[in-house]
Amino acid sequence: MSKCNGKYVAFCDHDDLFEPDLLENAFFAAEENSADVVKFNYKEISENKTTQLSSIPSHVFDVSSLRDSLYELNSLGYFVTVWSFLYRRDWLQKTGAKFDVTLKHGGEDYDFNMSLIPYIRRFVVIPKVLYLHFIRTSLSTSAKMYEDVMLHFLKTQILLNKVAKTLACNPNHHQTAFMSYYGECVINFTSSALKLNKSNQYISDRLELFRNETLNISPLCKNILKSIRLSPKNTIAFVLSFLRLHRVTIILFRFIKRVW
C-alpha cells in the first residue's frame, strides 16, 4: 500500500478474477458520492457450488447511518474481505491501517476493515457482482483449520464491540444482530477447536473468557424470541453461552459430529 500512487486501491487474490467492469463501476460510485470506501457484491465458486453475498442493496452510508447499521452489516458478512472493496488511496494511507502479518491463515482482512471503520466518512454499497472468488479445497487455507483461525473466530466479536464503542453505537438498538453474530462466533470456534482436538476444559475456558469480554455491554436477552426466529442455531449458541452452559455446547457439537 505504501507503493500505491493512484487515486484508489483495489485488491485481488492471485487466483481470483475481477469482472471486466469492476474498476469502472466502483470508480464511478466512489466519484459520484465522494466516498472513502465502495463495497460491491461477489461470487464464491467452489467445486460443489456457487454462492454470493446476499442482502446487499444499493446504499450510501454516512457516519450516522453506518453507526446505526454496523452490527447488521457485520452479521451479513460485509467486512470479512478486502477484495470486495475499493478504497480511496489518500484516505487509506492517512488512516495508518496495516495488515496484521501474524495472521498467517486468515482473518487479516477483517482486522484491516475493522481498523478502518472509525475513519469512514462515506461508504457506498453497490449490489452488482463484480468479483469472482475461487475456493480450491486442496490449496485454500480457508478450507483447512489452524489455531490462529480458531482463536480469530472469537476475536472478531471483540473487535466489533471495540469499533462500535468508538462510533458510540447503542448496543440496545442492535440486539438481534449482536446475538446472531455472537452465536456464530461460538459455533465457529467450538467446531474448529474440536477439529483441532482441543480438550473440553480448554474450550470451556476460552468460551468463558469470551463471554466475560463481550457480554458486559448490554442486557441482550430482550429480543431473544425475534432472534431465534431469524437465526435459531446462532441464538441457541448465544443462550448457552449467556447461561455459561459451555459444556452443553461442547456435548452438542460432539454429538452432531458423531452422528454426521
- Domain hosting 69: range is 8-134
Q: Inter-axis angle of helices 147-166 and 175-195, to 10 degrees? A: 160
Based on C-alpha coordinates, what's the Rg of the chain?
A: 19
What distance in Å separates the CA atoms of residue 113 and residue 200, rounded to the nearest whole number? 33
**Residue 139 domain-assigned (yes or no):** no
Q: Are residues 124 and 162 in the same domain?
A: no
Would you write out the chain's pLDDT as a tens digit for each of its 260 residues?
888 899 999 999 999 999 999 999 999 999 999 999 999 999 999 887 777 766 678 899 999 999 999 999 998 889 999 999 999 999 999 999 999 888 888 889 999 999 999 999 999 999 999 999 998 766 555 556 788 889 999 999 999 999 999 999 887 788 888 888 999 999 999 999 999 999 999 999 999 999 998 876 555 556 676 676 778 889 899 989 988 999 999 999 888 765 44
Q: Are residues 117 and 176 in the same domain?
A: no
Interior CA angle at 204 toward 202 and 209, to 5°?
95
Residue 207 neighbours by CB under 8 Å, 6+ apart: 186, 189, 190, 241, 246, 249
**Structural domain count, the chain:** 2
Q: Are residues 90 and 196 in the same domain?
A: no
